[in-house]
């Protein structure tokens, strides 16, 4: 009986180590490629719509919008997002389109390596 308990403990310890390494590998695969990220925002009445887009904030404080396999795919998506937001804002706000929050978010978004 003692031998079986000892074997069980060894198996549990080893399987826990394998699970941890598998999780680390899985995270590495998920983080490959490029992320489209938006900068943080803070309320500030001195900015259009009362929101300051903090484009000078450290990238670690930005939030992920989407993930792409290549930098080219990310940039294409970023540019499309800018164009789409400008087109929509022009319809909704006319000459004030550039001050609309979705436009400001899209223009300040960045593509960064996920590695």
Q: What is the pLDDT of residues 9-52, one digit of tens each?
A: 333 333 343 333 333 333 333 457 999 999 999 999 999 999 99
Taking alpha carbons only, the member of 38, 30, 114, 111 closest to residue 77 is 111
Looking at the structure, do residues 44 and 22 belong to the same domain, yes or no?
Answer: no
Quote the domain boundaries for residue 41. Answer: 32-113
Looking at the structure, do residues 60 and 14 belong to the same domain, yes or no?
Answer: no
- Residue-averaged pLDDT of the chain: 80
Write down how long the chain is: 115
Looking at the structure, do residues 68 and 99 belong to the same domain, yes or no?
Answer: yes
Q: Is 114 helix (H, G, I), strand (E, B) or coil?
A: coil
The model's pTM is 0.69
Q: What is the pLDDT of residue 31?
A: 52
Mean pLDDT of 53-79: 97
């Amino acid at each position: 009986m003692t031998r079986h308990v000892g074997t069980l403990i060894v198996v549990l310890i080893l399987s826990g180590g394998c699970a941890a390494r598998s999780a680390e590998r899985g995270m590495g695969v998920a983080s490959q490629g490029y992320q489209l990220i938006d900068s943080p925002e803070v309320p500030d009445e001195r900015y259009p719509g009362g929101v300051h887009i903090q484009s000078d904030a450290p990238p670690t404080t930005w939030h992920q919008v989407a993930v792409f396999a290549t930098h080219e795919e990310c940039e294409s998506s970023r540019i499309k997002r800018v164009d789409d937001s400008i087109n929509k804002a022009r319809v909704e706000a006319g000459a004030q389109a550039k001050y609309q929050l979705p436009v400001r978010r899209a223009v300040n978004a960045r593509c960064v390596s996920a590695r």
